Structure formats: C-alpha cells, structure tokens
Amino acid sequence: MTINTNRQKTFSLKRQPGFGIIAIVCFVGLYAPILTLVVYSFNAGKYISIWEGFSLQWYVSAWSNEAVQDAALRSFILALQASLYATVLATMAALGTTRTRPFQGLTAIYVMINQPLMVPEIVTAVALLTLFAIIKTATGIQGMIYLVLAHTAFCIPFAYLPIRARLEGMNLMLETAAADLYATPWKTFRRVTLPLLWPGIIAGAMLAFVISLDDVVITEFVKSSGQETLPTYMLGQLRRVISPEINAISTVLVSLSISVVALFFFVEKKFGK
C-alpha cells in the first residue's frame, strides 16, 4: 500500500473563487463615499455635488468660523477628558478581572463592562438622558459634567478590550518574582506591571479618544444648550443648509481618525509583543 505523503494544502480564504471580486466590491462600497467627500471638500463651488474647480476656500471658511472653532475645541476637551477617565477605569477593571482567580459571576462582570458594545447606542443614550434628568431635577447641577460622564461610560469597553488583551498576554513570572522578593502589590504594579502594560493603555486611550470625538447619538441626547460638539454642529448644519464647508470639516475629522487608528496599530505592532 502506498501512503500519500504529499502535504495537504491548508485552507485559505484568499484562494476561494470570487474572493478578489468580493473584496473589491467591499472596499469600493466602504471607501468610495469617503473619497467622494474628500474630493468635493476642495470644490470651488457652493454646491456639494457639482464640481466647479479646485479651491481651499471651504477649509479657510471652516477655520475662520467661530462656531466651528468653539465646537471643535469643546469636542477635543471632551474627548481628552472622557478618554482619560475611561482608560483609568478600564485599567482598574482589566486588573480586577485578569489578576484574580476565576469566580462565579466573572462572566456577568464581563457582560456588564462590555454592555455599551452590545446594546444599541440609542438605548444607552435614552438611559443616560433619563438618569441625568433625575439627577438634574434632584440637585439642580448643570454643565458639561453630564457629557463627560456619558462619554466616559460609553468609551470604557473600547479602552478595556486592548488593556485586558495586553494583561492576558503578559508573562506572570515577573510579577510573581517581584512578590517573592517581598515587593508590595502596589510596588509590583508600579515597577513591573505598569511598564509592561503601557502599550495596551495607550492603545485603549487612543480608541476611546476617537470614539468620543466622533460620537453623535449620545451627545445629541445628553447635551444641553450651548454644548455643541463638532459632530452635532455638523448634524445641525445639514438640517438647515448643506454647505461644502461640512465636507471640509468631515475630511479633517476623517484624517484625524485615520491618523489615530494608524498610530494605534503602530503601537500594537511595535510594543504589543
């Protein structure tokens, strides 16, 4: 009997019939609208769908628009605050769910932490609106604090996932060795765990920042008068008059988001080992 010693080919999705065509269709469907948006942000005319020549006037117009400046500054401050608070809370949650023995109810904790990812965003927005309305009525406290809390709550799972993944991929031998050398839990965390965890923390913070910066639904429900962010300002403008200035602002936001996501993958690739 002759034994077939030929190595079997491993399954590869790329070798399946029609894979290339499907991939091209998906990429065109995803990026053709964005490319059109970017191209028409340089349109010299005042119509968003009729090309009348190349110009940077809409970028200049958006840059000099005080309403855009205020909304952009508010968006950046909000995103920075929300990403900072969400990353701190996500780091503590990741430590609490990975540096402990498995116990009954741990899965329920995972579900609770990742709830904003599983529940439709509008449900989270309505829930936060109701909660904050009760707090405002009871305390009379107003201000940006509610937007910061809402964005922080929504961004926690986005920061939690890369931080937890980093912790689960870390070798426990160094932490165990530090404990054997009589290091306190805090000293072990500060001298061993935290330096190794930094790539995951930075990646989580960047993801949380992008999510907060681009959020519309939760912001639209929670914000009060005079608390327009850049996405909600753009939505309001689209309801009134559609101007190519919106294309210019959208292009800047897309560029910023791509830059942050590219930096995230760079950090993961360079320091994620």
CA–CA dist 253, 230 (Å, integer): 9
Cα dist from 30 to 2, 14, 16, 26, 212, whole Å: 51, 20, 22, 6, 22
CA–CA dist 96, 232 (Å, integer): 36
Task: Tell me the pLDDT tens digit for each residue of 175-217.
Answer: 888 877 878 888 888 888 888 888 889 889 988 998 998 889 9
Task: Tell me the pLDDT tens digit for each residue of 41-79.
Answer: 888 887 777 788 888 888 888 888 888 889 999 999 999
Task: Tell me the pLDDT tens digit for each residue of 104-114.
Answer: 877 888 888 88
User: What pLDDT was estimated at residue 146?
Assistant: 92
Each domain of the chain, given as residue ranges in start order, spans 18-55, 65-271
Query: Rg for the chain (alpha carbons), in Å?
Result: 24
Query: CATH second-level architecture of 65-271?
Result: Orthogonal Bundle (1.10)
CA atoms within 13 A on the CB side of 148: 12
Residues 6+ apart with CB under 8 A from 53: 43, 44, 45
Residues 6+ apart with CB under 8 A from 148: 78, 81, 82, 85
CB 156 within 8 A of CB 113: yes
